Each structure stands twice: as structure tokens, then as C-alpha cells.
Structure 1
Amino acid sequence: MEWYIEALSKYADFSGRSRRREYWYFHLFNLIISIILFGMSVSLVNVTGIAVLGFLYFLYSLFIFIPSLALIVRRLHDTGRSGWWFLIFLVPIIGAIILLIFTVTDSNEGDNKYGASPKLY
């Protein structure tokens, strides 16, 4: 949970670097929260017919969009790539695979043009 909160504390910080651990734990907790909210909204709609929690899921998705984008840019910086590489995701299938490879790649050793290595602290 610490990595999720750390990513949220850097809400719109597109500079610097983020470790793989921060990136993947953020997405793990984001997935868990999304599944819970979506499941609750589906079950509540089935019981009451009112989509209140569906609206909460939508708000959560909007809230988490900018931190997710900032985190992927910082993760790409950690591998020595420009943050604009996230646009490769727009290429169907191949773009998602390339982006996945970039995010699982280990950090550059030491400092790079995007800052100090986050592994050092």
C-alpha cells in the first residue's frame, strides 16, 4: 500500500524516475480497488436498480488517470526513455507489448538525464 500512496502523492509529477516496484504495486492496488468498486456497483444495481457505485467507479477512474499517466512517464524515464514513448500504446497490440517490455525492463544503473536512480534511497 505504501507504493500506491507514494504514487498518489506525486499526483501530477511527470519528472524524475520511478522503480518497477512502485509502478507494479500501484497498478496492483489500482486493479484491486477497481474490481471492488465495479463488483459493488454491479451487485447494487442488481438489487436496487440504481447505479450509484457505478458513478463512484467512474469518478475513481477519472481521479486515477493523471497519476497513472505520470507514473508511466516516470517509469519510462527510469529506463532511460522519453515519457512520450507511452504513446506507443496507441498502436494496436504491438504497442501494448512494447510498452509492457519497457515497463518490466530494469532501471538504468546510476543517474541518467532524468535524475538520480531511485534504487539508491
Structure 2
Amino acid sequence: MTTDRFLGLLDGLHARVQHPWTTESLAREALLSRSAFAERFTRVLGMPPMTYLTRWRMYVAARRLRESAVPIGRIAAEVGYESESTFSRAFAREMGLAPGTFRRGGGPPGRAVLHSPSQ
């Protein structure tokens, strides 16, 4: 996969955060097999594709929570979750706080959600 193709893929993932991405669908976009795509993605970004996607979604959601009064359920849908409860569990797992607590300014301003766990 060329650098341009990889960057284009990331641009698409970022622009369509609500899309129901899978490793397979991302690999198809990259014109690679699932395993080759996952290996290259992990080598370049330091984490598997679905980990990156989840962390990107939480980053987008965190910004929306802090910068708007949009209901949590709507933010959940905007970042690709079909239910508010599933989103809330994922958000708490990744950010260490429930979305409502985060919105009210609880805890630190946000964890570095796009860094690999080893960083």
C-alpha cells in the first residue's frame, strides 16, 4: 500500500467516522488482504485498525461532548454506535469516565486516546 493510498484511507475513515467499518472493509478500500492490511496498519500506526477506529471515535465524541450540548445518544450515533449504552460503555473503557461525567468536566481534559498503549 502506498503512502498516498494509506493517507487517503485514513482521511476516509476520519471523514466517515459513523460508517460501520470493519477490518475487512478497510482492507478492501486499501486493495489488500485483511491480514496484510492489518499488519501494515499496525506497523505504521502502532495499533490494530479497530483499536485506532475506536480511539478515533472516542476522540471525536470527547470533543463533541465538551464543545456542544448535543445529547449523548446523538453523539453516539454520529460516531458509529447504534445504542447510547454501547457507546457509553466503550467511552468509559477508553476514556476512564462516563460520557456525562466527562462532559461536566470530570477528570483530566482527556486521555491521549490515539497513542498506542506502550506510549
TM-score, length of structure 2 as denominator length: 0.29
Q: Larger Rg: 1 or 2?
A: 1
Work out which structure has the larger RCO, using CA pairs closer than 8 Å and 6 or more positions apart in sequence. 1
Structure with the larger helix share: 1
TM-score, length of structure 1 as denominator length: 0.29
